[in-house]
Amino acid sequence: MYDDIRTVVEEQLGDLRPERGIGLDDDLWDLGMTSVNSVGVMLAVEDVLGIEFPEEALSRETFSSVRRIGEVVSGLTPPGAGGAA
């Protein structure tokens, strides 16, 4: 999962990403991510991983690092996968 998220982030940051690549704990905002980039990351992660970020997860903190995005994703259930028992 983290590799998928890192790939999405690197694609969204484009020329802003460091040559060494993006580490799990690199602060994405310090690397130059903007709110527009974060929306692109959100949409691409949702598409790639088949999840949907709830409104309360749409924050600067959620999209602060690859690790943090992964932690939030780990707590989500894909749409339609839950339901009443």
Query: Using one digit for the tens of pLDDT, what is the confidence trace for 2-48?
Result: 999 999 999 999 887 778 889 999 999 999 999 999 999 999 999 99
In CATH, what class is 2-74?
A: mainly alpha
Size of the chain in residues = 85
| Residue 4, helix vs strand vs coil | helix
Tokens of 51: 């999840």
Q: In the chain, what are the domain boundaries?
A: 2-74
What is the reported pLDDT for 85? Answer: 43
Using CA atoms, how far apart are residues 69 and 2, in angstroms rounded to an integer?
A: 9
